[in-house]
């Protein structure tokens, strides 16, 4: 309780506070100059500072693997129930469509559309929601203050979400083939369809999630994208009005659907399949680049 | 000098009103901030909610670009090269969303990997920090399933893993029990003693600020209103003591001394003191003694429930310095 002599000079000006109007206060900034080392010409001392060595950056591939692994571990707690939802949804759609289409090319596009829908649900919709939430809550700060290349975060997350879709897509394709009695000999094409359309849709989802000004909008965009993939992918293209079929051509999932649908033919046109997958790959590169750019933009505001 | 801040200004633009959300005016969250943090010290930023503490640390960590001013960390200009911050400092933000679904051990390991460590050193660092913070029992559980304090501790583990010469921690111990708190401060102290690590810390816990900080800058409305050691700041108001009175029933205002005390309490209340039946007064020691004599005798004593007499805390300093009158709610005492 003793008055310290060292501060009497200062307390002289603050004798007032406490009882009678504590807000009288000190003249603000004068307290600041009491810092050690800030004596007058702080700049001179600062100029003499040798810049400290920077710690190593995380390299792209190991960082990508670390993000991928971490994201995949989330599957156990968060993603498996949703994957069930996605799979049941697709199987349900195929059962419904059985009454509408009667084999042939329409059946192929229904099965292919329903299978790729699982990819759209997880990679586009859920990833858009994930990044939207991460951005809105400030969770991106965690990654932004680690020396990790932005593309590693985006690619790692996108790859993990695309991987989540593998079991659901495979189950849907097999079930659909059984339902519509389609040949399963060429289903191995899923090994190319899932990663390529997964990458394209995940890139799109990540970009939407990171660019949407609000979290709800990110969710909305993801849902809309998935609805578009559902309507434009599952419904047979031949029955669509001209305008809608243009929209269908713009949606990257369409090319995954087409590639898979073609593979159900007895003698698939492999060049056309490759062309479709090539479009998927091209869109994937562009959308992942866009997502990386969006990540940079979202991380430093 | 580890960290130098000069003339930092950051204004959040005004938001247009939407349906259901009123328009908010532009906020000057940093209003000409100057700071110097020297090597090896634990430097605190203290202030109520909305004082601009988090905005300031976000600019120190390259997450937010200031409108004006300079930020130099370990000789690097972070306004020009914000991406270097990640290679100079470890940051603990307020949010844990990025880690929530990971297990404690995977959160620490992944963060170590992303901080540039190879697999084996990352695992070693993970094991060390989990051991150090006593997280062994919950290491296999996802953060989401932990209590608030444990989850915060796991985030601290992620912030500490992988060596950095500067740690920027935004309310590291919020929600923690005393054991966890002690573990955090022990871990911080060890890094400081062994490697000369510097710590910049945001807190609004006054007691904690007094015990762990070497120096503290008091922020109010985006300005540094004082900067000194906790003892030095307290010395500003050392010629006063704080007296708190709690009345069981209506205090006897017909006693002139009690009426005078009430007047003083009202003046204090205007500056953020107590209210109603709880009076907070800041008085010179002699006056406090006289006040206690008054309230512990006669009709006043019959109405008195409790009183405490204490030396000033940083909260009193904050009020005495002209901190926002209503803002003291943001400062936590316990």
Choose the weakest-confidence range: A103-112, A164-173, B15-24, B33-42: B15-24
Instruction: Tell me the pTM.
Output: 0.79
Cβ–Cβ below 8 Å for A37 and B98: no
**Residue B313, pLDDT score:** 79
- Tell me whether residue B11 is exposed, middle or buried, using C-beta atoms within 10 angstroms of its C-beta: 0 to 12, 13 to 18, 19 or more: middle
Cβ–Cβ below 8 Å for A18 and B282: yes
Rounded-to-integer distance, Cα A35 and Cα B35, Å: 8
- Per-residue confidence band for A301, with pLDDT thresholds at 50, 70 and 90: low
A-interface mutation test, from B64, B98, B215, B272, most A Cβ less than 10 A away: B98
Does any CB of chain A come closer than 8 Å to the CB of residue B76? yes
Cβ–Cβ below 8 Å for B236 and A38: no
Cβ–Cβ below 8 Å for B271 and A23: yes
Q: Which of B324, B317, B36, B45 is nearest to A33 (CA)?
A: B36
pLDDT tens-digit readout, A182-205: 888 888 999 999 999 999 999 999
**Residue A77, pLDDT score:** 64
- A-to-B residue pairs, Cβ atoms closer than 8 angstroms: 244
Say which of A22, A57, A144 has its CB closest to residue B268: A22
What six digits make up the tokens of B130? 């989990």
- Per-residue confidence band for A43, with pLDDT thresholds at 50, 70 and 90: very low
When the pLDDT of each residue in chain A is averaged and rounded to a whole number, the result is: 79
Task: Measure B177 CA to nearest chain A CA, in Å.
Answer: 24
User: Taking 70 as the threshold, does the pLDDT of residue A47 lie above it?
Assistant: no
Q: In the block, which residue shows the tokens 């010179």?
A: B284
Summarize the confidence of residues A121-144 as an average pLDDT.
Answer: 89
Task: Measure A150 CA to nearest chain B CA, in Å.
Answer: 11
**What length does chain A have?**
301
Rounded-to-integer distance, Cα B283 and Cα B287, Å: 6
Rounded-to-integer distance, Cα B279 and Cα A108, Å: 80
**What length does chain B have?**
334
Rounded-to-integer distance, Cα B205 and Cα B173, Å: 9
Cβ–Cβ below 8 Å for A77 and B36: no
- Per-residue confidence band for A78, with pLDDT thresholds at 50, 70 and 90: low
Chain A residues with beta carbon closer than 8 angstroms to that of B322: 22-26, 28
Task: Measure A31 CA to nearest chain B CA, in Å.
Answer: 5
Cβ–Cβ below 8 Å for B91 and A145: yes
- Per-residue confidence band for A2, with pLDDT thresholds at 50, 70 and 90: very low
What six digits make up the tokens of B100? 């929530």
Cβ–Cβ below 8 Å for B111 and A146: yes
pLDDT tens-digit readout, A212-229: 888 889 989 988 988 888
Chain A residues with beta carbon closer than 8 angstroms to that of B325: 23
pLDDT tens-digit readout, B29-79: 899 999 999 999 999 998 888 888 989 999 999 999 999 999 999 999 999
User: Taking 80 as the threshold, does the pLDDT of residue A26 lie above it?
Assistant: no
Chain B residues with beta carbon closer than 8 angstroms to that of A32: 34-35, 217, 224, 226-227
User: Taking 70 as the threshold, does the pLDDT of residue A233 lie above it?
Assistant: yes
Chain B residues with beta carbon closer than 8 angstroms to that of A138: 93-95, 97
**Residues paired with B227 in a beta bridge:** B217
Say which of B107, B236, B281 has its CB closest to residue A10: B236
**Residues paired with B103 in a beta bridge:** B142
Bigger pLDDT: A91 vs B312: A91
Q: Under 8 Å CB-to-CB from A231, ≥6 apart: which residues?
A: none
Cβ–Cβ below 8 Å for B115 and A55: yes
Q: Which of residues 159-218 of B touch A (CB under 8 A)?
A: 162-165, 215, 217
Please tell me whether residue A12 adopts helix, strand or coil conformation. helix
- Going along chain B from its start, the domains and CATH numbers come out as 3-11+27-234 (3.40.50.300), 239-311 (3.30.70)
Q: In the block, which residue shows the tokens 């022990």?
A: B186
Rounded-to-integer distance, Cα B255 and Cα A253, Å: 84
How many angstroms separate the Cα of A174 from the Cα of each of A87, A120, A161, B53?
12, 18, 21, 57
**Residue B49, pLDDT score:** 81
Q: Which of residues 12-71 of B touch A (CB under 8 A)?
A: 32, 34-36, 38, 58, 61-65
Task: Measure B267 CA to nearest chain A CA, in Å.
Answer: 6
Task: Measure B201 CA to nearest chain A CA, in Å.
Answer: 16
| Low-confidence spans in chain B with pLDDT less than 50 | 325-330, 332-334
* Residue A227 CB coordination number (10 Å): 12
Cβ–Cβ below 8 Å for B264 and A14: no
Chain A residues with beta carbon closer than 8 angstroms to that of B226: 26, 31-32
What six digits make up the tokens of A196? 């390529």
Cβ–Cβ below 8 Å for A140 and B232: no
**Residue B200, pLDDT score:** 94
Summarize the confidence of residues A136-162 as an average pLDDT.
Answer: 89
| DSSP structure class, residue A225 | H
**Residue A30, pLDDT score:** 36
Q: Interface pTM (ipTM) of the complex?
A: 0.81
Choose the weakest-confidence range: A60-69, A160-169, A272-281, B165-174: A160-169
Cβ–Cβ below 8 Å for B86 and A26: no
Rounded-to-integer distance, Cα B258 and Cα B307, Å: 14
- Tell me whether residue A200 is exposed, middle or buried, using C-beta atoms within 10 angstroms of its C-beta: 0 to 12, 13 to 18, 19 or more: buried
For A231, half-sphere exposure in the C-beta direction (CA atoms, 13 angstrom radius) is 11
User: Taking 60 as the threshold, does the pLDDT of residue A210 lie above it?
Assistant: yes
Reported as type and span, the H/E element at residue B28 is strand B27-37
User: Taking 90 as the threshold, does the pLDDT of residue A51 lie above it?
Assistant: no
Say which of B63, B89, B114 has its CB closest to residue A141: B63
Cβ–Cβ below 8 Å for A51 and B74: yes
Query: Quick one: closest CA in A to B279, which residue?
Result: A19
Does any CB of chain A come closer than 8 Å to the CB of residue B79? no
What's the angle, vertex CA B98, arms to CA A203 and CA B124, rounded to 5?
110
Is-contact A270 A183, C-beta < 8 A?
A: no
Q: Which of residues 140-159 of B touch A (CB under 8 A)?
A: 142, 144, 158
Task: Give alpha helix (H) positions in chain B.
Answer: 53-60, 104-114, 119-132, 148-160, 178-195, 206-212, 230-235, 256-270, 285-295, 298-303, 314-320
Cβ–Cβ below 8 Å for A49 and B72: yes
Tell whether the torsion through CA atoms of A257, A258, A261 and A263 is positive or negative: negative
How many angstroms separate the Cα of A91 from the Cα of each of A168, A202, A246, B231, B271?
10, 22, 27, 70, 66
Reported as type and span, the H/E element at residue A292 is helix A270-299
Chain B residues with beta carbon closer than 8 angstroms to that of A46: 1, 4, 72
User: For residue A75, which phi and psi values (nearest 5 degrees)?
Assistant: -55, -45
How many angstroms separate the Cα of B117 from the Cα of each of A58, B120, B198?
7, 8, 21
Does any CB of chain A come closer than 8 Å to the CB of residue B266? no
**Residue B316, pLDDT score:** 78
């Amino acid at each position: 309780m003793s008055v310290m002599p060292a501060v009497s000079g200062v307390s002289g000006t603050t004798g007032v506070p406490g009882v009678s109007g504590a807000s009288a206060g000190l003249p603000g900034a004068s307290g600041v100059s009491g810092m050690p080392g800030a004596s007058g010409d702080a700049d001179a001392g600062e100029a003499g500072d040798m810049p400290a060595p920077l710690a190593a950056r995380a390299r792209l591939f190991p960082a990508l693997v670390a993000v991928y692994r971490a994201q995949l571990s989330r599957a156990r707690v968060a993603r498996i129930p949703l994957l069930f939802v996605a799979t049941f949804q697709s199987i349900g759609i195929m059962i419904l469509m059985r009454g509408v289409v009667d084999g042939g090319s329409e059946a192929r596009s229904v099965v292919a559309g329903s299978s790729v829908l699982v990819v759209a649900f997880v990679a586009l919709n859920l990833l858009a929601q994930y990044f939207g939430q991460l951005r809105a809550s400030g969770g991106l700060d965690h990654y932004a203050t680690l020396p990790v290349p932005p593309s590693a975060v985006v690619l790692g997350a996108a790859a993990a979400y695309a991987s989540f879709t593998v079991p659901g897509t495979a189950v849907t394709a097999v079930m659909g083939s059984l339902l519509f009695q389609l040949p399963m000999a060429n289903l191995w094409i899923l090994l190319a369809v899932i990663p390529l359309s997964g990458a394209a849709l995940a890139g799109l989802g990540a970009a939407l999630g990171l660019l949407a000004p609000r979290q709800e909008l990110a969710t909305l965009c993801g849902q809309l994208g998935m609805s578009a993939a559902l309507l434009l992918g599952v419904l047979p293209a031949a029955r669509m009005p001209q305008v809608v079929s243009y929209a269908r051509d713009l949606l990257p999932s369409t090319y995954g659907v087409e590639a898979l649908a073609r593979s159900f033919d007895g003698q698939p046109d492999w060049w056309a399949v490759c062309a479709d997958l090539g479009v998927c790959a091209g869109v994937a590169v562009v959308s992942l680049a866009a997502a990386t750019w969006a990540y940079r933009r979202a991380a430093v505001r | 000098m580890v960290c130098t801040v000069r003339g930092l200004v950051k204004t959040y633009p005004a938001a247009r009103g939407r349906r259901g959300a009123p328009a908010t005016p532009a906020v000057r969250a940093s209003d000409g901030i100057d700071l110097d943090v020297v090597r090896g010290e634990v430097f605190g930023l203290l202030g109520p909610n909305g004082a601009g503490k988090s905005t300031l640390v976000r600019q120190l960590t390259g997450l937010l670009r200031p409108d004006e001013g300079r930020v130099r960390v370990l000789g690097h200009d972070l306004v020009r090269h914000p991406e270097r911050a990640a290679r100079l400092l470890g940051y603990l933000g307020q949010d844990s969303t990025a880690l929530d679904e990971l297990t404690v051990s995977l959160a620490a390991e992944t963060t170590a990997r992303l901080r540039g460590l190879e697999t084996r050193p990352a695992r070693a660092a993970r094991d060390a920090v989990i051991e150090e913070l006593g997280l062994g029992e919950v290491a296999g559980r996802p953060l989401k399933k932990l209590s608030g304090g444990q989850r915060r501790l796991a985030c601290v583990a992620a912030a500490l893993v992988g060596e950095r010469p500067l740690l920027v921690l935004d309310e590291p111990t919020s929600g923690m029990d005393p054991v966890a708190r002690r573990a955090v401060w022990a871990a911080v102290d060890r890094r400081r003693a062994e490697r000369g690590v510097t710590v910049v810390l945001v807190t609004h816990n006054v007691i904690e600020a007094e015990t762990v900080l070497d120096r503290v800058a008091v922020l109010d409305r985006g300005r540094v209103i004082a900067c000194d050691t906790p003892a030095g700041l307290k010395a500003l108001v050392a010629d006063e003591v704080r007296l708190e009175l709690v009345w069981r029933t209506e205090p006897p205002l017909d006693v002139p001394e009690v009426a005078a005390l009430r007047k003083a309490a009202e003046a204090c209340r205007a500056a953020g003191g107590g209210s109603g039946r709880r009076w907070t007064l800041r008085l010179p020691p002699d006056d406090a003694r006289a006040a206690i004599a008054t309230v512990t005798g006669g009709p006043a004593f019959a109405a008195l429930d409790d009183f405490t007499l204490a030396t000033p805390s940083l909260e009193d300093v904050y009020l005495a310095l002209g901190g926002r009158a209503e803002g003291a709610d943001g400062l936590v005492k316990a």
